């Protein structure tokens, strides 16, 4: 069994910052890419950022310069530092990871999401 649990969401004013965390737990051999996605009301889920096991990062263009993804491999945790938040960043943010398990190979796992609301 593998679980991804996000935390750190909440209500923030425009221009503010939040740091999201996502911890993977369970019978994990290794974790490859870890990613953040988000889904705003009435919209499709979209990619936000990704980080490889060796720390290479990739961002959706509109997030570059405002969002920073990082990870702590010893803690099986990925972070998303979000600065200069805008109302259009309001969404449920989901963590996603490629996890290798013993005798089960590598599969994609998703967290339950954490709500981020940017409003004055």
pLDDT of residue 103: 82
10-residue stretch averages of pLDDT, the chain, 120 residues long = 96 98 96 98 96 97 94 97 97 97 90 97
pLDDT of residue 62: 87
Distances (CA, A) of 109 to 28, 58, 86: 11, 19, 28
| pLDDT tens profile 56-74 | 999 999 888 999 999 999 9
CB contact set of 117 (below 8 Å; sequence gap of 6+): 10, 11, 12, 90
Please report the pLDDT score of residue 75 as a whole number.
97
């Amino acid at each position: 069994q593998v679980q991804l649990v996000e935390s750190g969401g909440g209500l923030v004013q425009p221009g503010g910052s939040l740091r999201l965390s996502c911890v993977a737990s369970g019978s994990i051999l290794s974790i490859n890419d870890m990613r953040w996605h988000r889904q705003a009301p009435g919209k499709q889920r979209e990619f936000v950022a990704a980080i490889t096991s060796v720390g290479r990062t990739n961002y959706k263009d509109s997030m570059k310069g405002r969002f920073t993804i990082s990870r702590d491999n010893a803690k099986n945790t990925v972070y998303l530092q979000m600065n200069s938040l805008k109302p259009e960043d309001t969404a449920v943010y989901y963590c996603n990871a490629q996890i290798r398990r013993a005798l089960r190979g590598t599969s994609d796992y998703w967290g339950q999401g954490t709500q981020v609301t940017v409003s004055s």
